[in-house]
Amino acid sequence: MDTAYLIECASLLLRWLHVIVAIAWIGSSFYFIWLDNSLKPPTDPALIAKGVGGELWAVHGGGFYNPQKYLGAPPRLPDELHWFKWESYSTWLSGFVLISTLYYLQAGAYMVDPSKLIQSPGLAVLAGLGSLVLGWLVYDTLCRLLIDRSQLLFGVIYYLFVVGMAFGLSHLISGRAAFLHIGAMLATTMSANVFFWIIPGQKKIIAAMERGEAPDPIHGRRGKQRSVHNNYITLPVIFCMISNHYAFTYSGSLAWLVLALIMLAAVLIRHFFNLRHKGKLAWQYPLAGVLLLLGVFIWLAPSRPAAATAEAKPTLPVLASIRPIINDRCIACHAEKPTMMPAAPAGVKLDSEAGIRAVAPRIYQQVVQLKAMPLGNVTKITDDERAQIAKWFEAGAH
């Protein structure tokens, strides 16, 4: 079978798997943050005597639940203890294989952009991998330095670092790949938190109990800190992972700023929910987040073509005038039998006049207004050719 088709099948299965395990991880993460913020001090003396610091009554699926959280560790270890780790590990591993299949094996098409600094597929891959490693090292160093200081200071410095990485990657590789790698960098940090800090800390607590010693509370404090950080990072990660479907966000010269504003909006909205779980209503946070998003959408809105004056009677371009451009720049992917893809993306086929006219507004939006297509400008369409397509569409797409 054709290699491109096999890659397409692999990407389908990997993306499906990645979404499934990500739902499991994010769902459990959101639940435990909600649970931790919703616990109330127990009133039962027996629970207090056992060291329970908070409890909650809930009803779900026709049954009642009574989760309890101990201030330190329970008096004795239970026979069976569930660990929340494989959700994180499975998400990262499936995500890494997916990004390797889609981007690293096809770096020439998905990571290299003629307008960016890196023109070598190999160097583009190294830049992507390097961002994952650097992102974790900087984050972990900041945590070590600021764990006993201001978390607000940590948040500001780390946010500026992420924005700096977005700025750098957006000038090195394609905008689509830059956004995805910022998301992958943040997701790597989240999973590394679980692997290097949260799970080892829990193991140290259990080991101390098995030796008959009182566990060091620092492990619980560090684990909680990293879990809260993961909670705030989640929404920006999700946006980065879906951003490849919305070229208007990553195709401009200030794409890094677009990403910075959207990530900030996501964090503000997440902060509202975290406070809400504690019984605090702080509407200024989601309001600020929504206003930021609206501001970004207004900023990125494509301009409308100017109306033709009554005096001007230009020669109206017809489809035949732009058909050679479509043939040279587009149908390698968008055809009944494309040569660069196993199948036409989104089912858009431009190897017939009827097919071109049917999606004329989409061609205008993606090729002229957003300049998102051709992907990474792999077929090297020129600004003059984009202008010719614009004239054809604005004249009525005849």
Boundary of a domain, candidates 244, 266, 300: 300
pLDDT score, position 315: 62
Same domain for 327 and 255? no
Give the residue from 238, 365, 261 showing the smallest Cα distance to 305: 365
Question: Same domain, yes or no, for 123 and 263?
Answer: yes
Identify whether residues 251 and 126 lie together within a single domain.
Answer: yes
- Model pLDDT, residue 92: 97
Tokens coding 93: 């591993």
* Count of domains observed in the chain: 2
356 inside domain: yes
pLDDT of residue 162: 98
- What are the residue ranges in the chain where pLDDT is below 70? 1-2, 4, 304-316
- The answer as to whether 156 is a domain residue is yes
Q: Are residues 264 and 136 in the same domain?
A: yes
| Residue-range definition of the domain harbouring residue 385 | 319-394
What local confidence, expressed as pLDDT, does residue 355 receive?
Answer: 86
Q: Are residues 151 and 295 in the same domain?
A: yes
Residues 254, 171 contacting (CB under 8 angstroms) = no
Note the pLDDT of residue 313. 52
pLDDT, residue 221, reads 86
d(CA 17, CA 14): 5
Taking the model in full, what pTM does it have?
Answer: 0.83
Q: What are the residues whose beta carbons fall under 8 Å from the beta carbon of 198, sequence distance 6 or more? A: 85, 223, 226, 227
Does some domain include residue 51?
Answer: no
